[in-house]
Amino acid sequence: MKVYYFSEFPYHEYPDEEAEKYPSLRLTFPNDMFDPNTASDLFKRYFDECQYVDELGYHGIMVNEHHNTPSCMNASCNLTASVLARITQQAKILLLGNILPIHENPVRLAEEIAMIDVISGGRVISGMVRGTGVETVSTNINPTENRERFEECHDLLIKTWSTPGPFRWEGKHYNYRVVNPWMVPVQKPHPPIWVPGTSSPETAEWAGVHGYTYVAFLTALDVTLELFDMYREASVASGHTPTKENFGYLLCCYVAETQEKADEQAKHFLWRMGPTTRGPREYMNPVGYRSTAASAVAARRNSVPLGNQSFEELKENYHIVCGTPDTVLEKLEYLHGRLGMEHLIMYGQESKMDHEATMANIGLFGKEVLPVIRDW
């Protein structure tokens, strides 16, 4: 099994009582709570942690992006990835990823990802995402057009990477007289494509049709299996033969010498489960953003929302896996067997988990857990 380290590069450097004054930490939480100098120090620290991940031989490092929220400082995952491309040596750089529907210039986006692939020597995995409702609202995109913009942007990216220019593109949302970027990827015909999902049947099926790797994010195990089955059915119908390489799973993880120490640090993930997801429906799920089918799956997934689950429930449901190396190995072996996935996204830092605790987690996982699960 391959392991990819992940942190959202959070900014939780403000009093929680201030956050409680507002309906959500996303979209309308005032940005005067942000101090650029503090953020500069945080970025340096997060990049140091990623370098340690690379040194320990993790298969990759995942970066994402969100907007208008302290939960993620990465306003562009490509900027973060470009730094990682230079300061790391062997780890894959997993962009999971670029929010396609909010981009007005897919050719520029294709150039940026190609540039990172060139700088890194061909280590990019290009994840493509639809984004949260917040991104759709904040960029003034019609929610009903989110999926079609996603799919057209994807099609143009793939053609730009894999077809020699110049060529013309005339679509519904994007039009170019000339597509002929000088910068093209090292990997041919293009970097591997991954797609994340939490509840949308359409996304799982779309990924299956294209034969891409599909990664479930913090989904309940029964919902994950259902989404994986949707993927397989669509994949086989399209002529592909899906294997465990086509599946990944993201969970929060902390490893320590004792269960008590692991629990103490893993409780930082509660910020991700509750406060950062709190908000009005029109922020998170604007009308038209989800299909009826996706809404039905989401309703089952959120029958007990992550923010309403206790720490013990989150552990029981495998959203948080924490403990000694032996305990974590036992839980990961169960997940690997039940879900049949090749890729594990190890969400290893969140909230106010400090640098020392994060480095300890990366180190103990990398030295005691990673060598074992590599052979699964």
- Model confidence pLDDT, tens digit, residues 98-122: 999 999 999 999 999 999 999 999 9
Which strand (E) or helix (H) includes residue 255? strand 247-255
Asked if the peptide bond before residue 189 counts as cis, ω within 30 degrees of 0, the response is: yes
Using only C-alpha atoms, the chain has a radius of gyration, in whole angstroms, of 20
Q: How does residue 284 score in pLDDT terms, banded at 50, 70 and 90?
A: confident
Assess whether pLDDT exceeds 90 at residue 297: no
- Model confidence pLDDT, tens digit, residues 150-188: 999 999 999 999 999 999 999 999 999 999 999 999 999
Assess whether pLDDT exceeds 80 at residue 86: yes
Predicted local confidence at residue 78, as pLDDT = 98
Assess whether pLDDT exceeds 80 at residue 302: no
- Model confidence pLDDT, tens digit, residues 214-231: 999 999 999 999 999 999
Predicted local confidence at residue 299, as pLDDT = 63
Predicted local confidence at residue 199, as pLDDT = 83
Helix locations, 62-183, DSSP H: 77-87, 106-120, 133-138, 146-162
Predicted local confidence at residue 293, as pLDDT = 66
Assess whether pLDDT exceeds 70 at residue 296: no
Predicted local confidence at residue 301, as pLDDT = 52
DSSP 20: T
**Section 334-341 average pLDDT:** 97
Predicted local confidence at residue 135, as pLDDT = 92
- CA dist 320 → 224, 232, 250, 300 (Å): 15, 26, 10, 19
Predicted local confidence at residue 289, as pLDDT = 85
Parse the chain into domains and list their residue ranges. Answer: 2-373
Average pLDDT over all residues of the chain = 95
- Distance separating alpha carbons of residues 309 and 317, to the nearest angstrom: 10
Low-confidence winner among 40-44, 135-139, 298-302 (lowest mean pLDDT):
298-302
CATH architecture designation of domain 2-373: Alpha-Beta Barrel (3.20)
- Distance separating alpha carbons of residues 96 and 10, to the nearest angstrom: 16
Predicted local confidence at residue 155, as pLDDT = 98
Predicted local confidence at residue 295, as pLDDT = 64
Q: What is the DSSP string of 164-188?
A: PSPEEEE-SS-EEEEE--S---SSS
Contacts of 31 by beta carbon, 8 Å cutoff, 6+ apart: none
